[in-house]
Structure 1
Amino acid sequence: MKTENLLKQIDFIKEIDKIKYIQRRTKLFNSDRRENDAEHSWHLAMMAIVLSEHSDCEIDLLKVVKMVLIHDIVEIDAGDTFLYDQNKNHDNTAAEMKCAERIFGMLPKKQAEEFVQIWIEFEDGNSNEAKFAKSMDRLEPLLQNTSNNGGTWKEFGVKYQAVYDKKKIIENGSKELWNYAEKLIDESVEKGILAK
């Protein structure tokens, strides 16, 4: 049984290496190079660890870290959808659920079920852990775009209200981080790197 589980786990580990090839629209801090999903997930995990004291509620930090490391693995099959895409819904959870079932289904049954449940919990965004994990997911690209003189906002003509509306979810996990983010958004307009 252990050998069978190990072989499934190794196959899964090999499969998720593909996340390194999923390019996001957002660029690395102070860089012209686009970030990949693996870099994004690692960065969110570090952010969750470093910023966890700013969560409005008590959270299970290990669960948050699992969420941010797992949440984009489905993009191996589904691809990355740009947050500000006007043509494709960013919350295509039904299609992504099939991807989650395939990829996480490579694992032994108990682990597969746990990973799918963590992924669903993140997507639903209702638990304290999911709210904080989503705060990290929305804060990181904001920090990147402000470091890149408007970055993808300028590149794709994204305006203030779209940024404000998409980033407001940060408040669900941390009012303090939202206050910081809101200030960054306003400063970005003042600096001319985000169009009103």
Structure 2
Amino acid sequence: MQQVVDFILEIDKLKRVTRKIRPLGLDRYENPAEHSWQIAMLASSLAPHAPPSIDLSRVIAMLLVHDIGEIDAGDTFFFAEDSGAKSKERACVERIFALLPEPQRSAFLALWIELDENETAEARFAHAVDRAMPVLLNLANHGQSWRENGVSHAQVVGRVGPPIRAGCPALWAHIEARLDEALRDGWFGTRER
């Protein structure tokens, strides 16, 4: 029991990490713990649009563990250049999951790796949901993070379109139309990267 308690208290540190997007109606930035909870709920809500025979409980488990590596690595802005954060995140999840007894230790690491490798239907669906949530928040916040960080419409479509389309085509159809509206409304940053 103490190993589980130690693990849960260690992952509480995820609440200290700051992301680049604000929750609706708040002046502060969200943290990855809030993000993970919200995308788990989004995946659950999108179940009717998920690929056939998907194991939704596996998707939710992936989404709940996917950002734990940010405890040590911090949040990497999605549109930033690759900073080698993935290897830092991997070392962190190995450290943190090692707090748990087997078989939980290996099971959580396997879920994290499965999502990272993005080869199963569950991983693709989870990836789609993970990529979609910041877009949905930006759309609801009139492009807050995009405007603050100089992110263009082309960058958003180019980075999030393929994984969302691959994992949940119906979600991409909805988001793509909304992104076009946001472009007309001027909700994107001005500099191209």
TM-score above 0.5, yes or no: yes
| Percent sequence identity over aligned pairs | 41
Q: Deviations over 1:24-45 (max 9, x none)?
A: 1011124332111111011011
The residue that corresponds to 2:91 in the other structure is: 98
Instruction: Give the aligned residue type for 1:42.
Output: W
Matches within 5 A, 1:1-196: 6-86=1-81, 88=83, 92-168=85-161, 169-195=163-189
Structure 2 gap ranges (5+): none
CA contact (8 A) 1:24 1:82 kept: yes
Q: Report the alpha carbon displacement of residue 147 of structure 1 after superposing the two structures with TM.
A: 1.1
Structure 1 position 62, deviation (Å): 0.7
- Within 1, Cα distance between the matches of 2:51 and 2:105? 30
* Cα displacement (A) at 1:56: 2.9
Tell me by how many angstroms 1:95 deviates. Answer: 2.6
SS in 2 for 1:39: helix
For 1:132, give the aligned amino acid.
F
CA distance, structure 1, for counterparts of residue 95 and residue 122 of structure 2: 24
Which letter does structure 2 place at the counterpart of 1:108? P
Residue in 2 aligned with 1:3?
A: none
Distance in 1 between the 2:179 and 2:46 partners? Answer: 19
SS in 1 for 2:19: strand
Q: How many residues align?
A: 189
Does the CA-based 8 Å contact 2:72-2:88 persist in structure 1? no
**Which whole-Å CA distance do the structure 2 matches of 1:141 and 1:45 have between them?**
13
Could you tell me whether the CA contact under 8 Å between 1:26 and 1:152 is conserved in 2?
A: yes
Q: Deviations over 1:71-126 (max 9, x none)?
A: 0011111110000113635xx43332111110111100211000000000011111
Q: 2:20, 2:30 within 8 Å by CA — same for their partners in 1?
A: yes
8 Å contact kept, 1:24–1:34: yes
In the alignment, residue 171 of structure 1 is paired with which amino acid?
A: R
Cα distance between partner residues in 2 of 1:116 and 1:185: 34
Q: Unpaired runs of 5+ in structure 1?
A: 1-5
Aligned AA for 1:41?
S
